[in-house]
């Protein structure tokens, strides 16, 4: 089982990646002058962002479970 520190590190890296994907998707929607190529890339970006968001929810659930098991002091220190 992963430690709280490992879960927190993974969560923050993935959260930053997710935010970058959301930003890239917004840029693709505003610069969609090249038609299908941009639409395909935007669609893939949307799929990646959705998959990453699903994983982030699962990872956050694991962090919360570990925090509850370790007591309130571990949960406070992890945030």
| Report field, pTM of the whole predicted structure over 0.85 | no
Tokens 């098991």 identify what position? 69
**What is the rounded distance in angstroms from the CA atom of residue 39 to the CA atom of residue 33?**
10
Note whether 32 and 39 are within 8 A (CB).
Answer: yes
Count CB atoms within 10 A of the CB of residue 58. Answer: 10
Q: What is the mean pLDDT of residues 20-38?
A: 69
Residue 26 has pLDDT above 60, yes or no: yes
Residue 10 has pLDDT above 60, yes or no: yes
**What is the rounded distance in angstroms from the CA atom of residue 75 to the CA atom of residue 71?**
7
Note whether 11 and 56 are within 8 A (CB).
Answer: yes
Q: What is the mean pLDDT of residues 5-33?
A: 79
């Amino acid at each position: 089982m992963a430690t709280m520190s490992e879960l927190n590190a993974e969560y923050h890296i993935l959260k930053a990646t997710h935010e970058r994907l959301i930003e890239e998707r917004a840029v693709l929607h505003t610069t969609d002058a090249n038609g299908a190529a941009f639409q395909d890339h935007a669609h893939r970006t949307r799929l990646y962002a959705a998959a990453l968001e699903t994983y982030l929810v699962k990872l956050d659930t694991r962090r919360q479970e570990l925090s509850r098991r370790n007591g309130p002091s571990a949960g406070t220190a992890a945030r």
